[in-house]
Structures are given as structure tokens and as C-alpha cells.
Amino acid sequence: MKHAWKKLLAAAVLPCLLAGCGALGGPESEVPSMDHLLGLTQEQRLEDYDYLVQTLGDSYLCMGVRDRDNPEDPSAAIFQAYREMIQESDSDEVFYSAVYSTLFRLGTYGHLWIVEPDMYRAYCEAYEDGGIQDREHWREVLTDPVTVRGYERLQTLLDAYGEEDGTVNSADSEEPAANLHTLLLPGGDVGYVKIDSFPAEYEDSYATDRAALTDFYRQAADCTDLIIDLTDNSGGSEVYWQQLLAAPLTDRPLSCTNYALLAESGNNRPYIQEVFSPEELHPIADLPDLPKLERDGIQTATHFVESTLSVEPAAERAPFHGRIWVLVGPAVYSASESFAVFCQETGFATLVGSPTGGDGIGALDPVFLQLPNSGILVQFTMMFGLNGDGSSSEETGTTPDILSPAGEPALVTALRAMEGVA
């Protein structure tokens, strides 16, 4: 499944949720009962859960991919089991456990996940404080009074679980690990840079990485080859690779275009109208015949758009002019996947390693699904990207130009390939 790190985090919290955390709320506990901390009636809980299931059904196009990957655990059975769990208990605690557990079992296909309070605060900071521009509907949902009140109550519920114990987040005070590592390999002919994420322009690490890369390109000026290692990079911002990797290292404009599908549901419509003009939206009936398009699971798609990745040369060209190799693997996802697609389709670099994680075509901020009574948000990717042959970007990712033999690191494969084409 996608995003193994998120799965591990969820696995650590989920048993506590399902077990009700022991004696919390019992007669000897000072913690108040969690059964009604969200202020919901039983009818409202069921209404929220049914809304979640219905909206995913008409708005989220990755369920078919998810179910093909997990035939032993179909989504329909998951929805039924957790609806029954809510129905059998008059408890906000059980309701939240059911929603959380539903999304945990569905997996993070297409960035699907519950927006937890720490993530909610991060989104508010990014969208409200001007870091992310031109996303008015995203801001409206985040600042909706139902959402704000819901997250205040949800924080109270999670505080009752003890998740805010000072020892839990003690690592937050440590110095963050460097995002970027560079070196010149022995012999001085090959430059190597490993990038673990693509920070957004408004993040401090973006400026740090920009300065480091500019300096490194000067160090690598006389190299014949440059290796960009993305094997641990699960994405971030496309602007990062466009401005810091591609633009400084090309002498000409580069672009590639793929299709992405959309479902113009009630949930998605305001996002679609904000991002796309009517002229950019093409009826799904006009989608060209694509040999590997799997239609199961995308029946609710109503439109497609042309998703173009493009880069103009930087005003000042980096001094390195050699061959570029990009190392990829299963962790490559979202914005790092879009870079892999760009490299392969424009010829900017040679991809080496193993197939990527996908979801890099039609990159757009995840949209929100707001549960009407609790105000809890669920995020997912609205756009369903297609590779050139019609296969799902989320499902198949990108196959590298040079595949590494089983057990061989992508770096070793790349170094061998350099010798063969020298």
C-alpha cells in the first residue's frame, strides 16, 4: 500500500482507539467520558458516516485501484462493518474510532486520509497565512465554523486519550535532519545528490536547499554525470523540482502532457470551478481510446483535463552540462512521481531503479470532504492521473528506463549503466 510510514503511525494509535483506552472515563478516572465529547447524537453520527461513504463513492476515483490491490478486504465490507460498529454504540469515541479505522483499512491511495488536528493546524497555517495562494474554497472549508468547532472538540477527545503527553512528542525539539545530501564520488566525474522531500517555497528548508543546490552545481561543473537520488522521496511541492532541479539544468523549454480524470460531484464541484475554466474541462465521452485504461472504479468520472508539466530554463544556467540520472523506487510518490514522469517523457534524465509509487499526474492540492455534523475533514486527490497508455498513475506508477536487478541498489545500477554508455 501507499505511504508505509503513515500506516506505521496509524498502527500505533489504532489499537488504543479500538480498545477504548482501557478505563478512561471510568468511575476512578478524572478524565471525562468520551462518549459525548464531540456533541453528536446517534443520528448525527450515522449521518456523518453515511455521508463519508456516499461522497467517497461519487467523488473519489481511486477506490477501484484500492479494491484491486486488496481483494481479500473489499471496501464495501469495511463500510458495512464500521457502520454497524457506530450503530451499536451511542458513543462519539466509537464514532471517531470507526471513521479512523475505515480510512486506515482503505489505505492512503490518492492521498486518502483523515485530517487529524495537527494536520488541520498545518493546513490552516499554510492556507490562511498566505503560503498557498488562490485556493479560496480550501480556506473556506478550513475556516467554516462547523470545521473549527469540530476540531476544537476533536482535540479535546484526543487529549482524553493522552496523545498530548509531553513525552510523546519529545523528538519534536530535536534538530530536524537535513533534507539534502551532496557529494562528489571518488574520481570526481560523478556528482551525487540525495533529496528526501520537496519542500514548498514558503518553507524555510526550500531556501536552504536552493542555496545548497546552487553551490553543488558549481562543485559538479566538471563532472560528466549527475545522480539525483529520490529513492526515499515521497513528494511535496512540484515547484521544488521545477525551479531547483529542472530549470537550472536545461537549455530549452521542456513539457509533457497527460490526461487526468475528474468527478464533478457536489463535493468536488467548488474545487473544480476554482481551478479549471470551462474550456479546460472535456466530457469523459471525448476521452481518446487508451489501451490500458481500466474503467472499473472510475464510472463516476464526468470530465478529463490535460495535465501539463512544463519548465522554462532558469535565467542563469547551472555550470553542470553532463548527463543526468534520477534514482527512483516505490517510495517515489506525488510530486516526486511527477518529476519522474517529466524526466522520462521529456528526456530530461534517465530513470534508474524500480517502479515508482505513482499519483504524479494531475497534481493538485488534496481536496477536503467535510463531515456535516462533526466537522471532521477527510482529504483525497480529486484528479485521477493516467499514464500515456491509459493505465492509472496511482496503480502502476512509472517503470524506470533502466530497471535494477532484484536486490541491487539503484545507485549501483546507475554506475554500471554509466560505464556502458561512456
Listing from the earlier edge strand, what are the strands of the sheet with 225-229? Answer: 180-184, 190-195, 225-229, 323-328, 350-353, 402-403
The number of residues in the chain equals 422
Between residues 162 and 79, the one the model is more confident about: 79
Q: Give me the phi and psi of 30, to 5 degrees please.
A: -85, -10
Percent of the chain whose pLDDT exceeds 70: 88
pLDDT at 11 over 50: no
Nearest to 202 by CA among 312, 117, 127, 313: 127
pLDDT at 1 over 90: no
Identify the pLDDT of residue 10: 41
Nearest to 105 by CA among 239, 220, 10, 15: 10
pLDDT at 145 over 90: yes
Identify the pLDDT of residue 21: 39
Q: Which helix H or strand E contains 50, and what residues bound it?
A: helix 42-59
Identify the pLDDT of residue 19: 40
277-320 pLDDT, tens digit per residue, is 999 999 999 999 999 999 999 999 999 999 999 999 999 999 99
111: cell is 492521498
Cα–Cα distance, 193 to 230 (Å, whole number): 9
Percent of the chain whose pLDDT exceeds 90: 82
Between residues 28 and 358, the one the model is more confident about: 358
Q: Which helix H or strand E contains 393, and what residues bound it?
A: helix 393-396
Q: Give me the phi and psi of 180, to 5 degrees please.
A: -135, 135
39-84 pLDDT, tens digit per residue, is 999 999 999 999 999 999 999 999 999 999 999 999 999 999 999 9
pTM of the model: 0.86
Cα–Cα distance, 174 to 113 (Å, whole number): 27
Which of 17-31, 188-202, 237-251, 305-319 comes out lowest in average pLDDT? 17-31
pLDDT at 23 over 50: no
Q: What is the rounded (10 degree) CA torsion for 277, 278, 284, 290?
A: -50
Q: Give me the phi and psi of 401, to 5 degrees please.
A: -65, -35
Cα–Cα distance, 314 to 173 (Å, whole number): 37
pLDDT at 12 over 70: no
pLDDT average, residue stretch 190-202 = 96
Cα–Cα distance, 380 to 144 (Å, whole number): 19
